[in-house]
Amino acid sequence: MTKRDKNELVFVPLGGVGEIGMNFALYGFGPAGDREWIVVDCGVTFPGPELPGADLVLPDTRFIENERPKLKAIIVTHAHEDHYGALLDLWPKLRVPVWATPFTAGLLEAKRQSERGAPDIPVSIYRAGDRISVGSFEIEAIAVTHSIPEPMSLVIRTPSGTVIHTGDWKIDDAPAIGPKTDGERFQAVGDEGVLALICDSTNAMRDGESPSEQAVNASLKTLIEQAEGRVAITTFSSNVGRIRSIAEAARDAGRQVLVLGRSLKRVIEVATELGYLDGLPEFLEEEDFGYIPRENVVILCTGSQGESRAALAKLSRDEMRHVSLSRGDTVIYSSRVIPGNEKPILETKNALIEMGVRIIEDDDALVHVSGHPRRSELKQMYKWVRPRISVPVHGEAAHLVAHASLASIAGVPEVAQPRNGDMLRLAPGAAEIIDQVPFGRVYKDGKLIGDDEQVGIRDRRKLSFTGHVAVNVVLDSKLNPIGEPDLVAVGVPESDGRGEFLEDLMLDAAIGAIDGIPRSRRKDLELVREAVRRAVRAAARDIWGKKPVTTVFVTRG
């Protein structure tokens, strides 16, 4: 069999399949062991309280790092963090050409300038309709609608067939900015023949179609006009269409817009340079706040997910120098709740309610629409494309299974359901999972990146539950203790409930452990160390019911 006969087209997700976020997809072409590769998207997800100290969660890219000589390019579909947010941290390990739209490239550069030591990534610009040739792959960009400028679907052509990677998309006949989803081009590609559709599953459990951004604009205008005091609106920073809708609604209601939050200002700067906010009144600065009547201002701010350092949370705590909210004002959440953020969002809302602020969210009025396709929109995509294989991605298990069922009902001959780490062969032959590659998560903690053990998260998690005790024991030349051991406890209860200090009780246990070791055996310092460690932990357990992380140092004078 010749090398050409052994060529395979494979799809390997390292993130974003079985979860929402951290999208990282690989396409490989060629014989096993000698494939050419491209990466589509390079995203992050965000840590919850179970990952103390972690700043970002990144995909584990060991597999493609080992294949780097055959890696041809990274193509980014759009500038949401879960699709491009890992580039600055992972590109130094991959060092291949990056392709991005003008808006994505602009945000990446703005982010790079704000992060000391970030790499200067050479980025090539592509636009809708462009074709990129890298190795055995030819990639065509098709414009779609999403909640950010310049989202793209990618038509990936190979000698073994054509794959469409939709990225994030929806059908909106009245988007706030940018073109509509290019149904005609999808249909034309479908006429050519499509091997596989790798498609967004986020809203596969929701019937019907998403409302348009224009409808949100009209709803926001009505709410702003009806509000008596100040209006603060929080939304995702990257949603330039929503920013424009808010600015237009405020203008039409006779109000001016004040922007709070670094990420919003960064997005607005890039969007303004590219012309997406042309024709709008200038935004106010914070220093202007005191000169504007309450009924004439709309505050556009970060903090829709309850971030403690974001502008809305600071407003709820009255911590901003120039800007404040008061009784009778209105806060509109023009966003959805990302799973895991319910508690901090509720904390911010409760603080605002205590101030006498009125809260309006999606259940109360049309203040947000998703950027992802519901079931009717998915069905339309399948009518356009008519793929032989459906591969649901970008979703948790429930979303993926619902999408798979819809694809089967839509008449797709084969439906494959890989998960992160699966190597799915798309051609030749029937779709089949043929291997599994290393995958998982690594964490950015300050300036360092590693797994939970390498960056200390595993031990930090233990410390968050049980605290830490450090004991220092010094023995003289005759192996007798020099004074009492030094003991310091952090994150441990102060007393035992009867008034005795827990540190004193643990210290007594340490002294007892040393005294219980015959002097002739104390020359084994490791034996002394372990005996003291066990005694201290046992004393804490008997009194407290928990065993703190305990570190013991033993030295000879």
pLDDT at 5: 64
CATH of the domain at 248: 3.40.50.10710
Contacts of 51 (CB under 8 A, 6+ apart): 57, 443, 452, 457, 461
Classify residue 457: in a domain, yes or no. no
Instruction: Please tell me whether residue 549 adopts helix, strand or coil conformation.
Output: strand
Instruction: Please tell me whether residue 343 adopts helix, strand or coil conformation.
Output: helix
Provide the 10 A C-beta neighbour count for residue 104.
Answer: 28
Q: Domain ends where: 397, 421, 450?
A: 450
Q: How far is CA 68 from CA 135, 338, 464, in A?
A: 13, 34, 39
Classify residue 459: in a domain, yes or no. no
227 and 310 part of one domain: yes
Neighbour-count burial of 158, counting CB atoms closer than 10 A to its CB (0-12 exposed, 13-18 middle, 19+ buried): buried
Classify residue 160: in a domain, yes or no. yes
Classify residue 482: in a domain, yes or no. yes
253 and 128 part of one domain: no
Q: Domain ends where: 335, 360, 385?
A: 360
Q: Is 261 left (phi over 0), alpha (psi -120 to 50) or beta?
A: left
Q: Domain ends where: 421, 450, 479?
A: 450
Instruction: For residues 383 and 554, give the distance between their C-alpha atoms in angstroms, rounded to a whole number.
Output: 73
Residue 279: domain span: 213-360
317 and 244 part of one domain: yes
Ordered mean pLDDT values, 10 residues apiece, the chain (557 residues): 74 96 97 96 91 93 97 98 97 97 97 92 97 97 97 98 98 93 98 98 96 92 94 96 94 95 95 96 92 94 94 96 95 90 94 97 94 97 98 97 98 98 98 97 94 91 94 95 95 90 96 94 96 97 95 93
257 and 349 part of one domain: yes
pLDDT at 508: 96
Radius of gyration for the chain, computed over Cα atoms and rounded to the nearest angstrom: 29
325 and 379 part of one domain: no
Look up the pTM and report it: 0.90
Residue type, 44: V
221 and 293 part of one domain: yes
444 and 487 part of one domain: no
CATH of the domain at 116: 3.60.15.10
Classify residue 264: in a domain, yes or no. yes
CATH of the domain at 535: 3.10.20.580
Phi/psi of residue 76, nearest 5 degrees: -105, 125
Q: How far is CA 529 from CA 217, 523, 554, in A?
A: 68, 11, 6
Contacts of 453 (CB under 8 A, 6+ apart): none
pLDDT at 1: 41
512 and 399 part of one domain: no
260 and 350 part of one domain: yes
Each residue of 302-331: pLDDT tens digit? 999 999 999 999 999 999 999 999 999 999
Domain count, the chain: 3
Classify residue 462: in a domain, yes or no. no
90 and 220 part of one domain: no
pLDDT at 3: 52
Q: At what angle do helices 87-94 and 102-114 cross, to 10 degrees?
A: 90
The strands making up 161-165's β-sheet, listed across from edge to edge, are 131-134, 137-143, 152-158, 161-165, 196-200, 389-393, 414-415
Instruction: For residues 181 and 494, give the distance between their C-alpha atoms in angstroms, rounded to a whole number.
Output: 62
Classify residue 456: in a domain, yes or no. no
pLDDT at 497: 80
274 and 324 part of one domain: yes
Classify residue 415: in a domain, yes or no. yes
77 and 110 part of one domain: yes
Phi/psi of residue 441, nearest 5 degrees: -130, 145
Each residue of 33-46: pLDDT tens digit? 899 999 999 999 99
